[in-house]
Structure 1
């Protein structure tokens, strides 16, 4: 479970499942005053809106590319800000349904966006804590009769007041196995997503084609998930940019030859199976650091700061990607 640090409270009642406002456990009830019809409300002056904008800015800074994803996140944030403004004018409406589906390959930023989404929902009062509890099938599905319901309800309880992130959600549905208990998980989720939608946001994540099949086979679940966000694979230039950011964030740098070597590495690695976008880039950099460390130790001489921060071409070309085109471990 991942918890993000966000200031507690913001002086506004929190929306409940019915659309009425109720205070969160960490704050005192605030007096609700309905604005006059001719009043003006400056959205940018809202403290919560400022924190949302800060979170969106950090998302832009942390993630390369993903323009459609960032645009959709901003749209959802805008919807919730306007919903808050409407309430202050006494314009009641049903609480927006916030369950989501994130589809994309591995290493495309789904978990990072889930964390930032939790921060936005918390700042605007739609969840009690900026918390994301991540689970997979193994955390939800039991091995015998009577085991699944307690496991699923425990996961939901851990996520209560925050976000339940179900990774590779399609593994819950196995129609070929009549004795599989994954369908029981789906039925429990259907109930809890409706009954507890004022206290829980569920995000389903996985590969696009499998998620399409998953929702098609479970129309009741699909109808409760209005926000579908697609995470495209990164392009070659974007992955090079990501590599540069990762290296710099760890206080390393590529020398000129190493930069060229990593460009060659990436071109080859992207053509191999099981390539995982930014995750594969991070793994490649970690292995380059291992080769750098071995190289420096074998120098058997005093080291300078420049030695310690520089990754060379040898540190890159040592990858098995250059030795054996059928080896994807490099």
Structure 2
């Protein structure tokens, strides 16, 4: 009996074949028999099935589609575990709402206006952009764009001007997110300040167009708590509040390494040690206003400039090698000079 290559044979025939091949091995036809055994013992490889899901941030999400792209972008951010958890909760709620609608069940809409509280450079604006993409991909928002503003964009110079400017920005944000940074500044001037007019206009728009746009207010934690307390109706209108904690030194080092890698630079080990020293000193110096990733970005960009000056001085007749062009050294990493008042 001869088995076709790659095809299995039944148990009875298998035993006879082994006995016959063994006798051929004894008779000296070992090389040919070795090839023959490989043919007889070959079994079909199991079929591979593509996995429709993947793990991102400890959660199982689809590996394809708009939401997968959103979660990949979010998962690449350093830290922010509580933020990633909340974004997944929103996704789960929207997805289950779609399933309920398909099953003929009530799928009531929720309010998604938010407050982001934390120091500068903790990722508030970046997360707002990702949330906009999530809402657009899940059909909650038509456009999914982000309009980023501050007090000067909302508050006018005379009575009635503020309401007009604020309504214009709300109109631009329809189908997307209106993101107000340092929102607490709207309440700083007291009752006679035009900022109160902006707040009143925003509150009315949240009620009139609650399913057409999402309002996100952002700022320092203590200031935002005070701001919300100035208007009794504000806290209940923002059911989602997210704290953005300061990054740890390890997380900031990781952010720095990602930043320089994108620019095709590297931090040598001594530079990483120098970076840790600078980060620790800066965090201790500015306990309540540390700018986190913003400080790291400024430090890395300044270090790249210092590296360029150093290399230009060292290589006057020849050009530096590839490794030299990429390496950020400790002497390149210097703090910004501050004037003494």
Within 1, Cα distance between the matches of 2:64 and 2:104?
Answer: 19
Matched, 1:319 2:335: yes
Matching residue of 1:125: 139
Matching residue of 1:53: 68
> Per the alignment, in what secondary structure is the counterpart of residue 148 of structure 2?
strand
Within 2, Cα distance between the matches of 1:43 and 1:216?
Answer: 43
Within 1, Cα distance between the matches of 2:199 and 2:330?
Answer: 50
Task: Quote how far apart the aligned CAs of 1:53 are.
Answer: 2.8
Matching residue of 2:246: 233
Within 2, Cα distance between the matches of 1:315 and 1:132?
Answer: 37
Within 2, Cα distance between the matches of 1:51 and 1:159?
Answer: 21
Within 2, Cα distance between the matches of 1:43 and 1:259?
Answer: 37
Within 2, Cα distance between the matches of 1:193 and 1:177?
Answer: 22
Normalised TM-score (structure 2): 0.77
Normalised TM-score (structure 1): 0.79
Within 2, Cα distance between the matches of 1:179 and 1:202?
Answer: 24
- Bigger RCO (CA 8 Å, 6+ sep): 1
Within 2, Cα distance between the matches of 1:173 and 1:67?
Answer: 31
After the TM superposition, which residues 1-330 of structure 1 pair with which residues of structure 2 at under 5 Å, given as runs?
50-61=65-76, 63-174=77-188, 177-273=190-286, 274-299=289-314, 300=316, 301-316=318-333, 318-320=334-336, 327=338
Residue by residue over 1:149-199, the C-alpha shift from the partner in whole angstroms, topping out at 9 and shown as x without a partner, is 11001111111110000111111113x533211111111111111111221
Structure 1 residue runs of 5 or longer lacking an equivalent are 1-41, 322-326
Residue by residue over 1:111-167, the C-alpha shift from the partner in whole angstroms, topping out at 9 and shown as x without a partner, is 111011001000011111121000001100111112111100111111111000011
2:116–2:217 CA contact under 8 A, matched in 1: yes
Within 2, Cα distance between the matches of 1:146 and 1:170?
Answer: 21
> Per the alignment, in what secondary structure is the counterpart of residue 202 of structure 1?
strand
Task: Quote how far apart the aligned CAs of 1:48 are.
Answer: 11
Matching residue of 1:26: none
Task: Quote how far apart the aligned CAs of 1:90 are.
Answer: 2.0
Within 2, Cα distance between the matches of 1:159 and 1:255?
Answer: 45
State the Cα RMSD in Å: 2.3
> Per the alignment, in what secondary structure is the counterpart of residue 203 of structure 1?
strand
> Per the alignment, in what secondary structure is the counterpart of residue 233 of structure 2?
helix
Residue by residue over 1:11-50, the C-alpha shift from the partner in whole angstroms, topping out at 9 and shown as x without a partner, is xxxxxxxxxxxxxxxxxxxxxxxxxxxxxxx999x99983
Number of aligned residue pairs: 279
Within 2, Cα distance between the matches of 1:47 and 1:312?
Answer: 42
Within 2, Cα distance between the matches of 1:130 and 1:43?
Answer: 25
